[in-house]
Chains A and B, each alone.
Chain A
Amino acid sequence: MSTTNTRFPTIGQIVLGLLAVVGISLIAYRFVYGIGAVANLSDGYPWGVWIALDVLTGIALASGGFVMAGTIHLFGGRKFHALARPAILTAFLGYLLFIIGLLVDIGRPWNIWKAMYSWHHESPMFEVAWCVMLYTTVLFLEFLPAVFEKFSLTRIHAYWHSLVPWLIMFMLGFFTLAMTYSWLWAGIIICILLLWELAMRTKLMPRDKQMPIILIMAGVIFSCMHQSSLGTLFLIVPHKLHILWYTPILPALFLLSAIMVAPAMVIVEAILTEKSVGHKAHTHLLSRLGQVIPYLLSLYLLLKVADVVGRGAVPYVFMLNAQAISWWAEITIGCIVPIILFLDPAICNSHKGLLWSSVPVIVGILWNRMNVAVVGIKVEDWEIYYPKWSELFITMGIISIGLLVFQILAKNLPIYESEAPSGAHN
């Protein structure tokens, strides 16, 4: 790891530290005086920016973890190996932050573990709860090798590698049981995983030396379930969610948009940490990622437009109201602008170009989730919800904590590989 010549603490870190302190104080206040003391939420609008930002956006932006891990270990993109660990760390921290945000947002957080035994598989929120618990565990397991390497725990690393697949089989089997109440389905899932694992142990199927394939598979499966289930949450409110966003395919749109934001997130994160953490971004890898983005965005845009046309919601697109304007903003910033930018090869080859074309993709996702959870929700005969300043400061405080922890971990653990000319991996 190269030595950094940046001062400590930098101005950025001081600002983040202050925001974190303000956030923590407000959270303490909330736990004494109730949610109503810090939020404008009401019985008509029980969900606000916390759900939109901390939960929906936070989880979508953590998609880099499963997309990169899948690309590298399952789909043969081994050349992207250097981007795996930062993406997994980002996702892991993202999920931890999201859980902190959740503990603030839900009213009775001491009951959160009750989802483990009081099962209700009809509820989309039950699926969400289980995916959060299990995928956070998967991310933790995926993050561990960096710790093992740092402290040269070779033997534990070897144990980890051989034991993790069994743990995963148990987790996915249990998850399936909870989602179906069917031992048969749980058995089928375990059998499928068992077959792959046996094929690998008998050397019939190639075995990944770094990561158990089963672990990566579980990460992708739980993520797909989790990302889509966040969309499913809103299927139960046809009477409240605006027609521009209420669609039966909302789960699919949530999943696809999470996948498409993954490369943008990896690019932004790699370039921004270049200075603060002191590593060298892998330009050629990032440009390869940049070249994929317009295709993903176009697919998403196509699906979204086809959906609006198919449901006969086109007239609502051209109305002059907050919802229509916000819909256009989401589409323009999140899809149209970045598609145009990324198609220019010059932009894909420069750090600055990559950074400033990826940022709108991320803003677009944020805008979309805000639209679904806040702008698009309209309750008849109820005073419209606007977030209170303290809601925003709590969210910013939690994000600041995450950024600071990320910097500390990225500096002290082998997360970033130096850009080796001869392909450090394989």
Chain B
Amino acid sequence: MKAMLIDATRCVGCRSCQIACKEWNNLPGEQTEFFAAKGYQNPRDLSAKTWTLITYNELKVNNRFEWVFGKRQCFHCQEPACATACPVRALEKTSAGPVVYHPNLCLGCRYCQLACPFKIPRFEWHSPVPKITKCTMCADRVAAGLEPACAKACPTDAIIFGERETLAAEAENRIHRNPRGYVHHVYGKDEVGGTCVMHLSNVPFAELGFSPNLPRRSLVQHVQHAMQPIPFLIAGLGIALGAISWIVNRRIELQEKEQQQCPQPTHDSPQ
């Protein structure tokens, strides 16, 4: 399964990846504005027009303030909650790795947005014909044997593309070779069942805006106990309801017959 490894310590914040993403995916530019904190970050957040974003974080590293750059994009989970959530398979986990979107199927219910633990899918709120949008890991390029546009554009090899197992080993290796240069955690290796985009960093991931407390089990497993018993419930209800109605209504029938044979004085009729 293909994957990406993003090493924050190698990123210089040039945003070539953002530009390459827009070019390859034909995404329009955005009207940008200044906003509090993170002044150099541009634009402020992911959107339907911006599928990947370099976040600018001025943080204390070894008692010095330094710029640390994080990359925000779809994690392409191994067991994606968005694809599980989608009622019509409009989001699909391909065997090659990327999670892709089929707008011709999408209902626009936005359950994928609710389900996503990384807050990635974006919805075109101001369109009468809205779509869900997100990074596709350049699935079309990957299918053609190329690497994603952002990885191709990165001048410092902060983004590398390859087989997931190889990249996970490489990530462990980098930490091992330089234990003081990294936090000892490969973000995405185990989060929500493992993702196909993994991150390395020299600051705690929470400081880069990554959710630190995600469950290790994939979110898919949280719904299985409620979805799997469905056929048993249908069958059980089918048997139980029929049987109860048989017994109850048979008794009522017998009572009525009895009453017809020996009519009693009317008892507690409604007042």
Contacts and interface: CB of A to CB of B under 8 A. Distances in A.
B108 A106 contact: yes
Contact of A125 (B109, B122, B256): B109
Contact of B106 (A111, A189, A282, A422): A111
B87 A221 contact: no
Interface stretch (B156-164, B178-186, B232-240): B232-240
B269 A421 contact: yes
Contacts of B230: 127, 179-180, 225
Contact of B110 (A47, A220, A380): A47
Contacts of B256: 426
B65 interface: no
Most central of B85, B88, B124 by chain A CB within 10 Å: B88
B248 A74 contact: yes
Interface in A102-148: 105-109, 111-112, 114-115, 118-129
B88 A115 contact: yes
Given A125-B109, A206-B253, A236-B81, A74 B241 contact: yes
Interface residues of A, number: 91
A270 B218 CA distance: 47
Nearest to A175: B234
A425 B252 CA distance: 14
A176 B107 contact: no
Contacts of B241: 70, 74, 217, 220-221
A161 to B, nearest CB: 16
A221 B105 contact: no
Contacts of A205: 242, 246, 249-250
A10 to B, nearest CB: 31
A107 B110 contact: yes
Interface in B107-153: 107-111, 113-115, 117, 119, 121-131
Contacts of B105: 111, 114, 118
Given A111-B108, A118-B105, A129-B87, A124 B122 contact: no
Most central of A33, A121, A125, A129 by chain B CB within 10 Å: A125
B86 interface: yes
Interface string A182-198: 10010011001101100
B27 to A, nearest CB: 16
B239 A35 contact: no
B84 interface: yes
A103 to B, nearest CB: 10
Given A115-B87, A206-B253, A221-B237, A108 B219 contact: no
Nearest to A30: B128
Interface in A307-321: none
B107 A109 contact: yes
B113 A46 contact: yes
A55 B225 CA distance: 23
A68 interface: no
Contact of B127 (A34, A46, A175, A251): A34
Interface string A331-369: 000000000000000000000000000000000000000
A239 interface: yes
B205 to A, nearest CB: 13
Interface string A363-397: 00000000000000101111000000000000000
A176 B235 CA distance: 9
B271 to A, nearest CB: 7
Sorted nearest first, the 4 A-B pairs with minimum C-beta distance are A107-B108, A36-B125, A108-B108, A46-B110
Interface of B: 46, 81, 84-90, 103-111, 113-115, 117, 119, 121-131, 209, 211, 213-215, 219-220, 222-227, 230-231, 233-235, 237-239, 241-242, 244-246, 248-253, 256, 269-271
11 contacts: A43-B46, A43-B113, A43-B119, A111-B106, A123-B86, A123-B87, A182-B231, A196-B238, A206-B249, A236-B85, A239-B117
Given A176-B234, A217-B237, 12 more contacts: A43-B121, A76-B249, A107-B108, A108-B129, A108-B131, A123-B111, A125-B86, A127-B230, A205-B246, A248-B222, A248-B226, A251-B226
Interface of A: 31-37, 41-44, 46-47, 70, 73-76, 78-79, 105-109, 111-112, 114-115, 118-129, 172, 175-176, 179-180, 182, 185, 188-189, 192-193, 195-196, 199, 205-206, 208, 213, 216-217, 220-221, 224-225, 228-229, 231-233, 235-240, 248, 251, 282, 284-285, 377, 379-382, 419, 421-423, 426
